[in-house]
Amino acid sequence: MTTHAAPPAPPADAPAPSVLSVGFGERLPAGRTALFAVQHLLALTGIWVFPNVIGSALKLSSDEVALMIQACFLLTGVVTILQSSRVLKLPIVQGPTAAFMVAIISSGATYGLGTAFGSMAVAGLVFMLLTIPLKRFGLFGRVSAFVSSPIVLGTLFVIIGAQLASIGAGGWFGTAGSPSYGLLALVVTIATGLIVLLCLVLGTGILKRGAVFWGIVGGSVVALLVGQWSFPDLTAAPLLGAPHLLPYGFGVSLPVVVLMLVAFLQAGTESMGMYTMIASWGGETVDTARVNRGLFAEFAGTVLGALFGGIGTTSYPENAGIVRVSGIGSRFVTMTAGGIAVALAFFPPVSLFLAGISGPVLSAATTILFGVIAVSGIQMLAAVRWDDLNLAVGATAFIVALGAQFIPTAISSALPSSVATVVTSPMMIGMFLLLGLHGAVNHGLRPLLARRGQPRRVVAPLVPHTEGNPSA
C-alpha cells in the first residue's frame, strides 16, 4: 500500500478557498452580465420604496418623491460602480438603508428636507475624515466598535421598527375621504402582503430575494383590476433629465447632524462586515486600508447623493446573498448594475412612475419590511448577556423612546424646537439614550464594579422556559 504525506496546513491567516463558480475578476458574455445585473437591481427595492415611505410620512407630492427616487438611482449607481471597479474591486452593491430613511423622516418633519439632506452631507464629511485611506488614519473602526455593540444597534432597530409600524399600517385602508377608502383598499393590502409572504416562504433564488418587489408588482396588478390604482400620468415629465441639485433647499442643524452620524455608523459597520464576508467567498482578505477605501467611497458618494436628495447607502445583504447563491462573483456584473442605475437616474418618467405606486400596495409591503427590521434587532439582542446593567440600558432606552411620543402637545410645544424634535422622535431620543447609557453603564460603571469585585447578576426571564411542557 502506497502512503502519501499529508499536505502542509495553510497559515492561520491564509484566505479560504473560493466558493464561487465565477471569480471577482472574471467576465461573462454580455447577455449573461446584463441578466445578472438586472437580478441585482430587482433586490434594490429601497431605491424607490424608501422615498415613497418618506413621501407618505411627510405628505410630499409625487413630483417631490420622484426627485428623491432619481437621486437614489444616481447615488446607488455611482457608489456601486466605484466599489466594483477601482476601490474595493469586489461585487458590492450599495443601496439606501432604513437608518437614513428614519433619520430623514424624523428630522424632515421638524426642520424640513433641506436641513435633513444638508445635515446628512455634513455628517458624511465627518466620516470621510474618519476613513481617510492612509496609514495611521482610518479611525472608523475604533468609533464603530462602541456604537455597533449589539445592545445599542439591536435596541435601536427594534425602536425603529416600532416607530415605522404606524407608517405601514396607516395606509392599509387607503386615503380617508377617497371613494376607494375602506374594504377594497384592504383587499389590495392583504393580496400584496400574501404575495410577499409566499415569495419569502416558498420562493427560491430571485423570487425569494426580490419578495418585496414581486409583492408590489402583484399587488399593483390586483389594485389595477379592482379599480384601486391607475397608471400615473408620465407626460408631465421630460423623457430625459438630470437629477436636481438641492431640490429641497439646504440647511444644517446640529441635532440632525448627530442623528445622521449614528445612521452613518450603522451603515458603515454593516458595510465592513459585507466587505469581509464577500471577499472571503472569493478567497481574498481585506486589510484595514482596503476597508477604509471602501468606506471612504461609500461616505463620499452619500455626501454627493445628499446634495441631490438621495438617501444614504450601505452594502446590501440581499445582493450579497445573490452572489453567494448564484456563485456569480464577477464584479463586472455589479458594475453593470450600477451603470443601469445611473442611466435610470436620467429618465424622469421612470422615477415618476415608481412614485405613483398605490398606497395600500406600498403599505402592505413596507409593513412586512418594517417587521423584518424590528426582528433583525431582536436577533442582535439575542447576543447580549442580559445582566442587570444591560437590562437597565436596553429597557430604559426602549420604553422611554416609545413612550415619549405620547408627551402632551401642550408640554412638547413649549420646548425649544431642537429639544422637542429629539424628545418626540423615538429614533432620536432612543439613539441619545442608548449612546449615553451604554457609555455610562458599560464603559464607566461596569469596569468600576469589576475592579471592586462585584459580579453582575444575570437576569432570569420573567416567563419560565416551557419548551416540551405545553401545560406549564
pLDDT category, 467, cuts 50, 70, 90? very low
**DSSP, residue by residue, 34-81:** HHHHHHHHHT-THHHHHHHHHHHHHT--HHHHHHHHHHHHHHHHHHHH
Please state the rounded mean pLDDT for residues 361-365.
Answer: 85
Q: What pLDDT score was predicted for residue 138?
A: 57
Q: What is the mean pLDDT of the chain?
A: 83
* Residue 178 binned pLDDT confidence (cut-offs 50, 70, 90): low
Residue 452, Cβ neighbours under 10 Å: how many? 7
Closest CA to 92 of 378, 298, 302, 394: 298
CB neighbour list of residue 179: distance below 8 Å, 6 or more residues apart = none
Q: Is 458 helix (H, G, I), strand (E, B) or coil?
A: strand
Q: Is the pLDDT of residue 177 over 70?
A: no
pLDDT higher than 90, residue 70: yes
Asked whether residue 368 carries a pLDDT value surpassing 60, the answer given is yes
Please report which confidence band the pLDDT of residue 7 belongs to, taking 50, 70 and 90 as the band edges. very low
- More confident site: 141 or 284: 284
Q: 242 vs 177, which has greater pLDDT?
A: 242
> Is the pLDDT higher at 333 or at 431?
333
Could you give the angle at which helices 62-84 and 46-58 cross, rounded to 10 degrees?
Answer: 150
Percent of the chain with pLDDT over 90: 30
Q: Using alpha carbons only, what angle is made at residue 41 by residues 38 and 45, rounded to the nearest 5 degrees?
A: 145
The HSE-up count of residue 425 (CA atoms within 13 Å, CB side) is 23
pLDDT in tens, 111-149: 899 999 999 999 999 999 888 766 555 566 666 667 668
Rounded Cα–Cα distance for residues 122 and 305 (Å): 12
| Range in 2-6, 38-42, 205-209, 386-390 with the lowest mean pLDDT | 2-6
Amino acid 110: pLDDT: 82
Distance from C-alpha of 330 to C-alpha of 97, rounded to nearest angstrom: 24
User: Model pTM?
Assistant: 0.79
Q: Which of 13-22, 96-105, 145-154, 344-353 has the lowest mean pLDDT?
A: 13-22
Percent share of the chain, pLDDT over 70: 87
Q: What is the pLDDT of residues 301-321, one digit of tens each?
A: 999 999 999 999 988 877 888
C-alpha to C-alpha distance for 88 and 285, rounded to whole angstroms: 11
Judge whether residue 4 has pLDDT over 70.
no
Work out the average pLDDT over 394-412.
Answer: 88
- CB environment 255-266: b (16+ within 10 A), e (fewer): bbbbbbbbbbbb
